[in-house]
Amino acid sequence: MENNLEQDFEIKLLGISGSPRKGNSLFLLEQAMEAAVKQYPKRVKTEICTFGQTPFAPCDACGAHKRLNGECRIKDGFQDLRDKWLDADAIIYSVPVYHMGIPGQVKCFIDRLGNSLGYYFSDFMPGDPVFHIPRLLKAIGSITQGSHIFAGQEHAQAFLNTHAMIMRCIPVPGDLWESYIGAGGWTEVSPKVSALKTLAEEGKTDAQIAVRSAQSLGKRVVEMAMIIKSGLKANNALLKEQASYLPLLATIEKKGSLKHS
Ligand SMILES: Cc1cc2nc3c(=O)[nH]c(=O)nc-3n(C[C@H](O)[C@H](O)[C@H](O)COP(=O)(O)O)c2cc1C
């Protein structure tokens, strides 16, 4: 069995660009995803979603998801992105810094994701449904960039890493020294969508660091996803005694998804 672990699993890598523009967030996200594919061309399947101009409604605390088996009552783009999120083994968020944090649109998605998924896996848990997010163990990386230096990049990364932990996933940074808890950069005050790309091509050190840290983060996120899937398979017999691992182990056994069918 051990000899087959490496070939067993394709890694589904979802990139989420949290900007309404096709700009610097998307540029760094593509750097991360392309680096992962270049390193592991036969293992990685990628998809990129961008937030675009379509708004995600905020959570209105209706509580309906408790009786809807974890479904969010508000029907908009949320369900589509939620399904892609559930389907992925590895996720990279790339967001612009807004007011030293993440953009409101991304927070709207994350609020609804965290709240509704608390009742999404109730079928696997013994007893009456209670709020519980089982071990989802997705590898999650965070890329953030803004116009200014020291202007919220790390705050936003820390928030996204915290989100990863709440979702019982694993936050994964790139390599030191360029990446401490995520990847990031600044556009040297330029508002242009192509600012970071241009600066990197001009040889500007900070932009090149942003690109390199995104690239190492992309590779490390995929590697962590590989380690998790192979480790789950190797320890299946022990872990299936714990209800919190059952949804994920079911996907390993059936090579399926966490999504409701
Ligand atoms: C509402 C808003 C708030 C912003 N707040 C910050 C900030 O706190 N720090 C910063 O460095 N840049 C801030 N910016 C600038 C963007 O982060 C910057 O333009 C970024 O490169 C945009 O990324 P994009 O090209 O992916 O859209 C803000 C921009 C907007 C629209």
User: What are the tens digits of pLDDT across the range 105-153?
Assistant: 999 999 999 999 999 999 888 888 899 999 999 999 999 999 999 999 9
How many angstroms is it from 146 CA to the middle of ligand 1?
Answer: 5
211: left (phi over 0), alpha (psi -120 to 50) or beta: alpha
pLDDT digits (tens, 9 = 90+) for 11-59: 999 999 999 999 999 999 999 999 999 999 999 999 999 998 778 999 9
User: How many Å is the Cα radius of gyration of the chain?
Assistant: 18
The residue whose CA is least distant from atom 2 of ligand 1 is 98
Q: Quote the pLDDT of residue 2.
A: 39
Task: Note whether 144 and 101 are within 8 A (CB).
Answer: no
- 6 pLDDT more than 90: no
Of the pLDDT bands very low, low, confident and very high (cuts 50, 70, 90), residue 1 is very low
The residue whose CA is least distant from atom 12 of ligand 1 is 146
pLDDT digits (tens, 9 = 90+) for 72-99: 999 999 999 999 999 999 999 999 999 9
Closest CA to 188 of 148, 140, 247: 148
Read off the DSSP letter of residue 185: E
Mean pLDDT, range 60-70, rounded to an integer: 94
What is the distance, to the nearest Å, from the Cα of residue 252 to the centroid of all Cα atoms in its chain?
A: 19
DSSP lists the bridge partners of residue 17 as 50, 94
What is the distance, to the nearest Å, from the Cα of residue 95 to the centroid of all Cα atoms in its chain?
A: 11
Q: Quote the pLDDT of residue 9.
A: 85
Name the percent of the chain lying above pLDDT 90: 89
Q: Quote the pLDDT of residue 232.
A: 95
- 102 pLDDT more than 70: yes
How many angstroms is it from 173 CA to the middle of ligand 1?
Answer: 22
pLDDT digits (tens, 9 = 90+) for 160-205: 999 999 999 999 999 999 999 999 999 999 999 999 999 999 999 9
Closest CA to 105 of 69, 146, 64, 55: 55
Pocket around ligand 1: residues whose beta carbon is below 6 Å from it?
19, 21, 23-25, 96-100, 145-148, 151-152, 187, 191, 193
* Residue 247 main-chain phi, psi, to 5 deg: -60, -45
Helix (H) or strand (E) holding 142: strand 139-146
* Residue 141 main-chain phi, psi, to 5 deg: -115, 155
Q: Quote the pLDDT of residue 125.
A: 85
Q: Which two tokens stand for residue 206?
A: 């900070």
Spatial separation of the C-alpha atoms in residues 99 and 204, rounded to whole Å? 25
Mean pLDDT, range 236-244, rounded to an integer: 95
